[in-house]
Amino acid sequence: MAKYKSKLQYVPCISVDDLPAPGGATSGVAGGLAICIAVDPKGAVYALGDKCPPINQPLSFGKVIDGCIQDPVLGTAFSLKTGEVVGKWCPAGLGKLLGGVFSPSGVPTYPVKKSGKNIEVQVDVNAKLNFEAEYWTGILDAQGKSDGKYY
């Protein structure tokens, strides 16, 4: 159960100077989340989760083609607008094997805007706190006791 209330907020992800050329992508971090910033051939900017399912390689290494960004390793294309799989799931190389083991899944998308010299992405700024609250107890890690032993 979440200890912290969800709080959506625009936070800086990358500098405008670091925006890739149209058709490219780069990585950034917003609210502790790995973000892929992609620019379509017309110059529109999109923000997606930077982990390609099913093995979590960086989506930001992909190519932007026809409204999608393509996983550079397994070949899956994800919609820039929705993050959903477009076309075949894991069609290339090792993906043919992995695609049969894992069900198709998309990547999260996030609202994005330019603010001054930054590209900002709207994320739940409490998401990382809620994730860590499941196992982190402050100065002790992994639910450890104050004497250094574990429960």
With respect to residue 49, please indicate whether it lies within any of the assigned structural domains: yes
With respect to residue 133, please indicate whether it lies within any of the assigned structural domains: no
Q: How many domains does the chain have?
A: 1
* Domain ranges, residue 61: 8-124
Question: Is a pLDDT exceeding 60 seen at residue 127?
Answer: yes
With respect to residue 134, please indicate whether it lies within any of the assigned structural domains: no
CB burial class (10 A; 0-12, 13-18, 19+) of residue 95?
A: buried
Three-state SS sequence of 15-26 = EHHHCCCCCCEE
- What is the pLDDT, as a whole number, of residue 131? 74
* Domain CATH for 71: 2.102.10.10
Both structure tokens of 102: 């894992």
- What is the pLDDT, as a whole number, of residue 142? 54
In whole angstroms, give the CA distance from residue 132 to residue 26.
Answer: 26
| pTM for this model (two decimals) | 0.84
Confidence band of 151 (pLDDT split at 50, 70, 90): low
With respect to residue 119, please indicate whether it lies within any of the assigned structural domains: yes
With respect to residue 1, please indicate whether it lies within any of the assigned structural domains: no
Confidence band of 99 (pLDDT split at 50, 70, 90): confident
With respect to residue 147, please indicate whether it lies within any of the assigned structural domains: no
> What's the rounded mean pLDDT across residues 91-101?
81
* For the chain, percent of residues with pLDDT exceeding 90: 65
With respect to residue 53, please indicate whether it lies within any of the assigned structural domains: yes
- What is the pLDDT, as a whole number, of residue 102? 86
With respect to residue 138, please indicate whether it lies within any of the assigned structural domains: no
pLDDT, tens digit, 9 for 90 and up, residues 36-93: 999 999 999 999 999 999 999 999 999 999 999 999 999 999 999 999 999 999 898 8
> What's the rounded mean pLDDT across residues 117-142?
77
